[in-house]
Amino acid sequence: MLRNTIEVEMLRIQDPSTEEFSLHNAVYNEARTRRDWVWEYATHLPSLSVFTVAKHRNRIVGTQGMLPIYLNIRGQRHLTGKSESSLMERDYRGGTIFRDLYAYAMAICEAQGMCCVWGFTSAVSVWRDKLGFSVYEGVMQTYALALTRGPIPETKGRKRGALSRSALSTASTLFYLYCLIRRTFFKKIQNVDHENFVVEEKLRNISDLDRLYERLRVRNDEMIHIVLHPEYISWRITENPNVKYRTCFLYDGELLRAYTYLNIDKDNVVRLTDFTAEDEVSAVVLLDYLLTVLSMDKVRFLLFMGNIKNPLIREVLSVFKKAGFFRLGTFRMSFVLKNISCEESLNQVSNWYMNGLWTEGYQW
């Protein structure tokens, strides 16, 4: 009853103190600092970034942030907001405080010209029933490839009984053998002339990415993708303080045909944050290159996450499956969307070309 009657102050924060991320650390048992907040909310398009809090008796009880992301929607650049930091202290949940805080943040987004707000969540009922978002359940799926024997990533670190551990060990071994057979078969059946392709660590010119996506949009004129302008790439990839990325660009003569951003964590698990290819041939060549290089680096697993409803992601997954990638059932997220002022094609989830690049940037 208290949470429905108390007076809560709504504020937009643009210069944080420790208090602004203490709620996040308490909920997720992490140790984010002011540096994390500054990178996430005050480095990329800081004047458009939104971070709001709900205060009761001068104590922060809820937070809601929106990261400004430019998307290309049907060939046109639009400012959008990525929903993040959606948190509410346990004792204040169940009433209208979170809904009111979200409405406050949304009003700022709309005033700044954001045409939609989107994000990823597992709490789909909150976004659908309380916030009025369109919810696309489980569309962000994760696929894995084992390069060595060992615990499957989604089971690592969980406490299991002896019988369960034995079953998991057997499953992990079978998974590895399946991947080994598929990967070997994948290399043998390739009928691709690699002679004209070259993989380089650096992009020759930023316009190469633009031209690649122009060709991809010819195939799907309703495609929605992140605008990969230099400032975004610097913030999200090359100058990211949380994740160290490798970049690989596949050139066919003067044309960029495919690229990937990837990171290797402390457990030698690779996350393919972005793997984009113009066609199946380019995807095969780049993946073959990665498998060769990463095998020498003693990588244990490769992970890739993407929107399984999108036709371009499905093409990439088709190649990955031939090489042995297998879907991890519990590694999935739902996509949520609030259309403020965009055309109806925005609501077709198959138009959204989403992969790990669309996440917050702390793991992928």
pLDDT at 218 over 90: yes
Instruction: Report the C-alpha gap between 146 and 312 in whole angstroms.
Output: 24
Among 114, 129, 150, give the residue marking a domain's end.
114
Residues 250/280, Cβ–Cβ less than 8 Å: no
Q: Helical H runs in the chain?
A: 2-5, 19-28, 34-42, 97-111, 124-125, 162-189, 206-219, 230-233, 280-296, 311-322
Q: Show the tokens assigned to 196.
A: 């004209």
Residue 364 lies in a domain: no
Mind listing the pLDDT tens digit for each residue in 232-272? Answer: 999 999 999 999 999 999 999 999 999 999 999 988 999 99
Is 327 found in the same domain as 178?
A: yes
pLDDT average, residue stretch 71-83: 95
At residue 167, the pLDDT reads: 65
Asked whether 199 and 243 are in contact (CB, 8 A), the reply is no
Token code pair at residue 180: 């080994």
Residue 1: pLDDT band (50, 70, 90) is: very low
The answer to whether the beta carbons of residues 165 and 346 sit under 8 Å apart is no
pLDDT band at 295 (very low <50, low <70, confident <90, very high): confident
**21 in a structural domain:** yes
Please tell me whether residues 157 and 247 are part of one structural domain: yes
Mean pLDDT of 93-110: 94
Question: Is residue 71 domain-resident?
Answer: yes
For residue 175, what are its two tokens? 């998974």
Decide if pLDDT at 138 tops 50. Answer: yes
| Residue whose tokens read 């965009």 | 342
pLDDT-based confidence at 192, cuts 50/70/90?
low
Provide the domain count of the chain: 2
| Amino acid code (one letter) for 18 | T
**Does 155 lie in the same domain as 102?**
no
Q: Residue range 276-301: average pLDDT? A: 91
> What does the pLDDT look like over 263-281, one tens digit per residue?
999 889 999 999 999 999 9
301 and 176 Cβ atoms separated by less than 8 Å:
no
**Separation between Cα atoms, residue 110 and residue 112, nearest integer Å:** 5
| pLDDT-derived band at 344, boundaries 50, 70, 90 | confident
The CATH number of residue 78's host domain is 3.40.630.30
Domain encompassing residue 243: 140-331+343-358
- Considering the domain architecture, whether residues 199 and 317 belong to the same structural domain is answered as yes
pTM listed for this prediction:
0.90
Task: Decide which of 65, 80, 114 is a domain's last residue.
Answer: 114
Has residue 158 been placed in a domain?
Answer: yes
Burial class (CB in 10 A: 0-12, 13-18, 19+), 168: middle
**Averaged confidence pLDDT in the chain:** 89
pLDDT value, residue 158: 44
Cβ contacts of 22 within 8 Å, gap of 6 or more? 60
Distance (Å, rounded) from C-alpha 65 to C-alpha 12? 9
Q: Are residues 294 and 175 in the same domain?
A: yes
**253 burial level (CB within 10 Å; 0-12, 13-18, 19+):** exposed
More confident residue, 307 or 184: 307
Q: Is the pLDDT of residue 168 over 70?
A: no
